Amino acid sequence: MTSFEFLAIILTGLGLTASIVYYANVLSNANKTRKAQLFLSIYTITLQEEMNKKWYDAMAMSLKDFPDSRVTLHTLFQKYNGIGHLMMQGLLDVESAYHHSEGYRAVLLWLKWGTHLIEMRKNNINPDYMDGFQYMAEKMMKYREEKGLPNRLLPEFQT
């Protein structure tokens, strides 16, 4: 009788272990799927001609152009702000953000407009204005430094 009870306990343990392994595998696959969906939703934005035009326009502008182009610039900044917030929450890692979310463009855009955005933060009494954008840009700059790449504004964008 004891051997049947012992066998029942072992079989129950094996069944529970198999269930746990299966569930962990399902969760891992679901997590990979969510990350892929997140990546694709962000990457799709980078492929849009309109968004690329906004980036080049923003890089060609000077501070005197800001009042007339505020909406266009804000739309572009919000894109990077959103990506930065995903990074802040641990939903997007630095390497993926750099390679698939225009990390270098975020660096250049921040180098061009970051000082002005920080000044707007102070003047508008909005301490977290574009903080995700700043977070992303700073992470991207650090990533580039670790790779031995420079973080400087290109001459053609210094207006």
Query: Which pLDDT score, from 0 to 100, does residue 1 have?
Result: 55
Picking from 133, 98, 83, the residue whose alpha carbon sits closest to that of residue 113 is 133
Q: In whole angstroms, give the CA distance from residue 62 to residue 27.
A: 48
Contact criterion met (CB below 8 Å) for 89 and 114: no
Percentage of the chain exceeding pLDDT 90: 47
Of 128, 72, 137, 145, nearest to 110 by C-alpha is 137
Note the pLDDT tens digit of each residue in 78-130.
999 999 999 999 988 999 899 887 889 999 999 999 999 999 998 888 899 99
Cα–Cα dist 46/60, whole Å:
19
Residue ranges of alpha helices (H) inside 47-130 are 49-60, 70-88, 94-100, 103-123
Q: Give the start-to-end residue ranges of the domains of the chain.
A: 1-37, 48-157
Residue 116's pLDDT is 93
| Mean pLDDT score of the chain | 86
User: Region 129-147: what's the mean pLDDT?
Assistant: 97
pLDDT at 17 over 70: yes
Residue 37: its pLDDT value, please? 76
Residue 84 CA to its chain's centroid (Å): 5
Residue 35 confidence (pLDDT): 72
